[in-house]
Chain A
């Protein structure tokens, strides 16, 4: 149980375009989902906390207009990277909380050319 999926697993896009990443909790309902970014050989940095039916809470330094988060249902949250630039290339990982534990998705590797 407690499986989280992400789609796509990897994406290559051109600079200036937007990319949407989906995060789904497959066998449980998650009122809270989290979005992280991980650069190569670095730790996970929390970008935002997403609560179903309400606006996401962004961490300091994360542009909310660039990283649009929607949490429309208890099993789905989406992250849209708008007007992507090469510096946005990273590994984006979501997690969904169940009680006090977080279950991580497999991640989405974004490369912006």
Chain B
């Protein structure tokens, strides 16, 4: 079945530094979505990428969808303490509607 892998599993970042989390799917995706889950909270939708090679920005967050539509990345610049949480990517296969979640990257920010 479809698998979605995320690395790293944990990311300890000094406040102000940048980091990137990567997402790889075993199958080609029709779209990929990113979610953020704060400790004790539920996943909150961040963005959806649909087109091959697509890049979208949200303030300090940059999302990219690979050319082959099998991988994606989230880059955060100038990390802040409010960025703490787990970032999940989730992909939908072509002609499907089910989200398969990656394992998530748990981000801790050192002030």
Binding site for B on A (CB under 8 A): 32, 34, 41-46, 49, 60, 93, 95, 97, 100-107
Given contacts A60-B1, A100-B48, 13 further A-B contacts (CB under 8 A): A32-B97, A43-B88, A43-B101, A43-B103, A43-B104, A44-B43, A46-B99, A97-B97, A102-B33, A103-B45, A104-B42, A104-B43, A104-B44
- CB pair A49–B44 under 8 Å, yes or no, is no
- CB pair B42–A101 under 8 Å, yes or no, is no
Chain B contact residues: over half helix, strand or loop, or mixed? strand
Chain A nearest CB, measured from B27 CB (Å): 15
**Closest residue on chain A to residue B31 by CB atoms:** A100
Contact of B45 (CB < 8 Å), options: A32, A34, A101: A101
Chain A nearest CB, measured from B66 CB (Å): 19
Most buried by A among B31, B35, B42: B42
Which residues of B (52-111) have their CB < 8 Å from a CB of A?
88, 90, 92, 97-104, 106
Residues of A within 8 A of B90 (CB): 44
**A43-B88, A44-B88, A100-B48 known; A93 and B42 CB under 8 Å?**
yes
Return 12 A-B CB contacts under 8 Å, by A number: A43-B102, A43-B104, A44-B101, A46-B98, A46-B101, A49-B98, A93-B42, A93-B43, A100-B31, A100-B92, A102-B45, A104-B35
**Closest residue on chain B to residue A59 by CB atoms:** B98
- CB pair B48–A101 under 8 Å, yes or no, is yes
- CB pair A105–B42 under 8 Å, yes or no, is yes
In Å, the complex CA distance between A101 and B79 comes to: 27
Chain B nearest CB, measured from A31 CB (Å): 10
In Å, the complex CA distance between A105 and B45 comes to: 11
